[in-house]
Amino acid sequence: NSVWVSTDHDEIEKVAKQFGAQVHRRSPEVSQDSSTSLEAIREFLNHHHEVDIVGNIQATSPCLHPSDLIKVADLIQKEGFDSVFSVVRRHQFRWSEVKKGENKMTEPQNLNPAKRYRRQDWPGELYENGSFYFAKRHLIEKGYLQGGKMAYYEMRAEHSVDIDIDIDWPIAEQRVLSFGYFGKEPLKEVKLMVCRTKNRCRLPSKSLNSVLLQMEIGMDKMKVAIPQVRLISERDCSKTLSAMQLGCIAKVSATNKLEVLEDWQKDMGLSWKEVAYLGNEESDVECLKKAGMSGVPADACAVAQKAAGYICKSRGGCGAVREFAEHIFLLLEKVNSARKQ
């Protein structure tokens, strides 16, 4: 019924509201380093008596999909569970810990070494992954997030990332790159890719050649899987584009990029989900918001980065086009694989 961000930080409140969330200003008493999520949730419920069920989503689990939350809400609202929490299946053999100075040997916890089997032939065990905890009000008021009629929800391993230490961060980034985040609607085939470009003729000749080469490689990659690749620029860079000989449609001196993009989309009979857009500046923001897949180089302006679905690690002219193309291919491969299954 409502989405809330609980925080005591002004900047977090500002960003939360920009993305459509409501904000509960957390008190200093439950904002300490030692404060628990349960304490913050109980404080929230004291101010919101209309709430009967709370879904506590952990910000440190960025690969969670909306479809999972919809199914969990149904378990509570339609099947009568009092609490539901997320788990993931692990295939790891456990051994007892032997502390330094103890005169004993380690013991197997979940296997028989004499009849050791392959881990891939073993069904594994379920572990909490910390992604979410759903519970009814009466449980939370008693001091529980788990209790009553309980159920677990098993998440897919590729969506199960819990950021606790530094090494977890790049793992989460790679999971999103490899398996994608499609939101509520399934990703469709990308049929039109539009790249915003600009005149680079002021660069030294060696730098210009490098820029052109990187862009040509990226464009060639995109043409393999995307039927139409087009360029757009608010500047008159026709001479540069002509020299590149990329063999694709280009619109230069475009004072209204969104208008051009809408004309292309309508002429080709495409939905916005079938359009990908790589932008860089404030004039690209509306196009980035409309496109089904959107990206920006690492050096794009702040407002463009905020509007984009993917921020390249490469700067403009230094491999960003190629990186965005590879990102699209990874997501489309995932979709095609799921369709075949």
Exactly one of 25, 94, 116, 119 is catalytic; which is it?
116
Question: pLDDT 10s digit of each residue in the chain, 341 long?
Answer: 899 999 999 999 999 998 889 999 999 999 998 999 999 999 999 999 999 999 999 888 888 888 899 999 999 999 999 999 999 999 899 999 999 999 999 999 998 999 888 877 888 899 999 999 999 999 999 999 999 999 999 998 888 888 988 888 888 877 776 665 544 345 567 888 898 875 443 434 443 344 444 444 445 555 555 678 888 888 776 555 554 555 678 888 888 999 999 999 999 998 888 899 999 999 999 999 999 889 999 899 988 988 888 888 888 878 888 888 888 877 776 666 655 55
Cβ 10 vs Cβ 17: under 8 Å? no
Residue 235: count other Cβ atoms within 10 Å of its Cβ: 12
Alpha-carbon distance of 258 to 281, in angstroms, equals 13
Residue matched to tokens 């079938």: 274
Domain ranges of the chain: 52-91+125-164, 192-339
pTM: 0.59
Annotated catalytic, 90?
no
Cβ 69 vs Cβ 184: under 8 Å? no
CATH of 192-339, one of 3.50.50.60, 2.60.40.1930, 1.10.10.60, 3.40.50.1000: 3.40.50.1000
